[in-house]
């Protein structure tokens, strides 16, 4: 029973003045349109939304993003949902925060304010692993092109390998907004699944002897001036190298400068808490609102989820193999597992490596090295995002 029917019935009430029961069919029709508009696709999306909420609450997989994402998916798939559409609040938020790239960029200020670069400043050699573990991004771009995606879509899918949600969202929002939902789900889900994804890849690529390699750690003091100069210098260098990535690396470093300068403690705390919480809340539910059945339930989503996994595997392999390559030229060997910590998933990846080290040798503490590489990965992922943003339009000219 559609709206024209309802108009007919309301019309009859107005002209004939018959009992309200006749007009009630139209009212009932309007009340039941949510149920009559249900499709199997929408029901499947409810199930997906509920699964994300379950994973967030029960398994605690990235709950800050997966729970709003799941609930946003439910809101978006209720038939005739007023939350989305021209005047829908979630669409307004999407236009204001995602289309303009405002939300991911604000998240970078918060992330910058949370990061302590000291372990990396003590051990700058770890920067190399922050670069090597971005291998998965570029390998996955080639896989995506091989599967028929165009360059912009492939670049957006590859960036899942940055293991960095805001960077993935930023790049996808610019290059492939239609794929934003599956890319975000993949990026955050696999970040949460790092403890399951990395160990088998590392074990497959290393020997037990390699996993037992010990590394010295010197806890040298880092001058405060260095902590202040570092974010400014990185912004200038990175900005000059890839100006397209300035919004990413610049605001990450701005957040870090607020943290390290020592005179803006209130702003630093606000960025770490209020800003991070508020934007994460809006980011998750807003992206969830793009998970409509029509946009999400297709073969592309499955391919993207699959390629996200491939990206994380290639990242891990890239880091480990690079460490093994470097070891060929070093007297004091590096534990190749450290290479795998060069992804941006902080601090999960560092914890995984530390635990794997302890599992091989109860007295081998790799945590500080792993954290150094992990922090380098956070810079590496943002640089990779900036490079992709700069190179794709240049190549398409």
Partner 1 sequence: MSETMIMGVQLALYGLGTVFAALVGFALLVMVLRRTMTPPAAETAPADEQS
The contact set with partner 1 (CB under 8 A) reads 120-121, 124-125, 127-128, 130-132, 134-135, 137-139, 141-142, 145-146, 150-151, 154-155, 219-223, 225-226, 229-230, 233-234, 237-238, 241-242, 376, 379-380, 383-384, 387-388, 390-392, 395-396
In the complex, what is the shortest distance from the CB of residue 125 to partner 1, in angstroms, rounded to a whole number? 7
| CA atoms within a 13 Å half-sphere pointing along the CA-CB vector of 109 | 18
Closest to partner 1 by CB, 181 vs 234, is 234
CB 97 within 8 A of CB 282: yes
Shortest distance, CB of residue 305 to partner 1, whole angstroms?
20
| Residue (263 or 395) nearer to partner 1, CB | 395
Q: How far apart, in whole angstroms, are the C-alpha atoms of residue 359 and residue 260?
A: 35
> Judged by CB, which is closer to partner 1: 57, or 229?
229
Q: Least separation, in Å, of the C-beta of 218 and partner 1?
A: 10
- Phi, psi torsion values for 170, nearest 5 degrees: -60, -50
Report the distance separating Cα 25 and Cα 10, nearest Å.
Answer: 9
Nearest to residue 76, comparing CAs of 52, 99, 60?
Answer: 52
CB 144 within 8 A of CB 153: yes
Min CB(375)–partner 1 separation in Å: 11
User: What's the alpha-carbon Rg for the chain, to the nearest Å?
Assistant: 25
Q: Which is nearer to partner 1, 111 or 238 (CB)?
A: 238
Sign of CA dihedral 117, 118, 121, 123: negative
- Other beta carbons less than 10 A from residue 297's beta carbon: 17
Q: Which residue's CB is nearer to partner 1, number 71 or number 108?
A: 108
* Residue 135 or 296 with smaller CB distance to partner 1: 135
Shortest Cβ distance from residue 343 to partner 1 (Å)? 13
Helix axes 102-114, 246-260, angle to 10 degrees: 40
Q: Quick one: which of 291, 297, 319 has its CA closest to 380?
A: 319
Of 56, 299, 62, 322, the residue nearest 168 (C-alpha): 62
Least distance to partner 1 from the beta carbon of 335, Å?
A: 19
Nearer Cβ to partner 1 (53/371): 371
Of 17 and 221, CB closest to partner 1: 221
DSSP 96: I
Whose Cβ is closer to partner 1: residue 3's or residue 125's? 125
CA geometry: angle 81, 87, 91, nearest 5 deg: 75
Closest CA to 258 of 114, 143, 142, 132: 114
CB 205 within 8 A of CB 320: yes
Indicate the SS3 state at residue 362: coil
CB 34 within 8 A of CB 79: yes
* Smallest separation, CB 359 to partner 1 (Å): 29
The C-alpha angle 232, 250, 61, rounded to 5 degrees, equals: 120
Nearer to partner 1, 201 or 382 (CB): 382
């Amino acid at each position: 029973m559609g709206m024209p029917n309802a108009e007919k019935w309301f019309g009859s009430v107005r002209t004939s003045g018959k009992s309200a029961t006749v007009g009630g069919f139209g009212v009932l029709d309007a009340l039941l349109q949510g149920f009559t508009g249900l499709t199997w696709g929408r029901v499947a999306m409810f199930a997906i939304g509920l699964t994300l909420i379950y994973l967030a609450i029960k398994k605690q997989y990235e709950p800050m993003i997966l729970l709003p994402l799941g609930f946003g998916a439910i809101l978006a798939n209720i038939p005739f949902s007023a939350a989305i559409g021209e005047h829908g609040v979630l669409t307004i938020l999407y236009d204001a925060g995602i289309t303009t790239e405002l939300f991911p960029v604000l998240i970078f200020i918060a992330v910058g304010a949370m990061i302590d670069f000291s372990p990396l400043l003590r051990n700058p050699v770890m920067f190399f692993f922050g670069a090597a573990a971005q291998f998965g991004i570029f390998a996955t771009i080639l896989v995506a092109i091989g599967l028929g995606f165009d360059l912009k879509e492939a670049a957006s899918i590859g960036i899942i390998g940055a293991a960095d949600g805001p960077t993935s969202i930023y790049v996808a929002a610019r290059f492939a907004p239609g794929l934003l939902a599956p890319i975000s789900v993949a990026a955050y889900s696999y970040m949460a699944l790092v403890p399951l994804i990395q160990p088998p890849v590392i074990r497959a690529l290393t020997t037990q002897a390699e996993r037992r390699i010990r590394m010295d750690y010197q806890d040298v003091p880092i001058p405060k001036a260095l902590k202040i100069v570092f974010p400014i210098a990185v912004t200038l260098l990175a900005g000059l190298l890839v100006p397209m990535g300035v919004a990413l690396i610049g605001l990450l470093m701005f957040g870090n400068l607020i943290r390290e300068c020592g005179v803006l403690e209130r702003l630093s705390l606000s960025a770490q808490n209020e800003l991070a919480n508020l934007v994460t809340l809006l980011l998750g539910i807003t992206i969830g609102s793009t998970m409509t059945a029509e946009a999400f339930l297709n073969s592309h989503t499955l391919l993207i989820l699959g390629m996200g996994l491939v990206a994380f595997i290639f990242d891990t392999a890239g880091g480990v193999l690079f460490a093994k390559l470097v070891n060929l030229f070093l007297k004091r060997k590096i534990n190749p597992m450290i290479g795998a910590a060069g992804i941006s998933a902080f601090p999960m990846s560092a914890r995984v490596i530390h635990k794997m080290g302890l599992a091989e040798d109860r007295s081998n503490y790799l945590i500080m090295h792993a954290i150094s590489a992990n922090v380098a990965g956070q810079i590496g992922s943002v640089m990779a995002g900036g490079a992709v943003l700069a190179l794709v339009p240049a190549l398409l000219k």
